[in-house]
C-alpha cells in the first residue's frame, strides 16, 4: 500500500513537471505532497537521472530532451535569461547519459553550439531588458542578474569541454570563433568605410561653404 502511494505521488510530480520547471513550493501547491516527502522523491528521481535542477535558479525539471526542446523555444521568447538554464541543463544531461564515447562526442559538439548561441541571445536580451529602465539601480540589478545566468551557461560549457571535449570539440569551437571573428571584422571594415564617406561628405560641405 505504501509503495502504491509513493508511485502515485511520483507520477503526479512528473505530470506537473511536464508543464515546465517548478520550485518546491510550486510542486507542493500543485501536488499536495508534503515538502519533506517532496524532497525525498525529488532526490530519488535525480539519482535516476529522471529529474534535474534544484530548489534554486528555476527549480526542478524533467530530463527529457524532447520536452526540453519545447521548453527552450518557449523560454527563449520570454527574455528571462535564467529560464534558459533549465532546458540547457537537460541538454547537458543527455551528453552524460549517452551510451557510448562516440555518441557522447557527437552530442557534446551539438550541445556546445546550443550553449554558445544561447550565450549570445542572453547577452542581447540583458541589454534590451536593461535599456527599458530609467534608474541606474534598476539597470545594475538586471545586469548583475543576467551576468549570473551567463556565468552559469559558461560553466555548463566549460564542464562539457573538460569532461567530454577532446580535440574534435576544441576544433569545432575554434571554427565557431573564426566565423564570429569574420563577422566582427566585416562590421569593423563597414564601419571604417562609412566613417570615410561621412568625413568626405563633411569636408566637401566645408569646402563649398
Q: Following DSSP, what letter does each residue of the chain receive, concatenated?
A: -HHHHHHHHHHHHHHHHTTS-B-HHHHHHHH---HHHHHHHHHHHHHTTSEEE-SSTT-EEE--HHHHHHHHHHHHTTT-GGGGHHHHHHHHHHHHT-SSHHHHHHHHHHHHHHHHHHHHHHHHHHHHHHTT--SHHHHHHHHHHHHHHHHHHHHHHHHHIIIIIHHHHHHHHHHHHHHHHHHHHHHHHHHHHHHHHHHHHHHHHHHH-
pLDDT of residue 38: 92
pLDDT of residue 1: 40
pLDDT of residue 140: 92
pLDDT of residue 3: 57
Mean pLDDT by 10 residues, the chain (209 residues): 75 82 87 91 83 70 79 80 82 80 85 91 91 91 89 88 77 87 94 87 64
User: pTM (2 decimals)?
Assistant: 0.68
pLDDT of residue 121: 92
The domain limits of the chain are 1-62, 64-183
pLDDT of residue 69: 86
pLDDT of residue 122: 92
pLDDT of residue 102: 82
Four-way CATH pick for 1-62: 1.10.3720.10, 1.10.10.10, 3.30.930.10, 1.10.1060.10? 1.10.10.10
pLDDT of residue 207: 59
Amino acid at each position: 500500500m505504501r509503495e502504491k502511494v509513493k508511485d502515485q505521488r511520483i507520477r503526479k510530480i512528473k505530470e506537473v513537471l511536464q508543464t515546465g520547471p517548478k520550485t518546491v513550493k510550486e510542486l507542493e501547491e500543485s501536488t499536495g505532497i508534503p515538502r519533506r516527502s517532496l524532497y525525498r522523491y525529488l532526490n530519488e528521481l535525480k539519482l535516476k537521472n529522471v529529474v534535474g535542477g534544484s530548489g534554486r535558479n528555476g527549480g526542478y525539471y524533467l530530463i527529457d530532451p524532447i520536452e526540453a526542446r519545447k521548453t527552450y523555444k518557449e523560454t527563449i521568447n520570454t527574455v528571462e535569461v535564467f529560464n534558459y538554464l533549465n532546458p540547457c541543463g537537460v541538454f547537458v544531461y543527455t551528453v552524460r547519459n549517452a551510451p557510448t564515447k562516440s555518441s557522447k562526442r557527437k552530442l557534446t559538439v551539438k550541445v556546445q553550439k546550443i550553449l554558445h548561441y544561447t550565450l549570445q541571445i542572453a547577452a542581447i536580451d540583458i541589454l534590451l531588458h536593461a535599456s527599458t529602465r530609467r534608474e541606474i539601480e534598476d539597470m545594475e540589478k538586471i545586469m548583475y542578474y543576467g551576468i549570473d545566468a551567463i556565468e552559469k551557461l559558461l560553466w555548463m560549457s566549460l564542464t562539457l569541454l573538460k569532461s567530454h571535449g577532446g580535440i574534435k570539440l576544441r576544433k569545432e569551437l575554434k571554427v565557431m570563433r573564426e566565423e564570429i571573428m569574420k563577422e566582427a571584422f566585416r562590421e569593423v571594415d563597414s564601419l571604417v568605410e562609412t566613417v570615410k564617406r561621412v568625413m568626405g561628405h563633411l569636408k566637401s560641405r566645408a569646402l563649398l561653404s
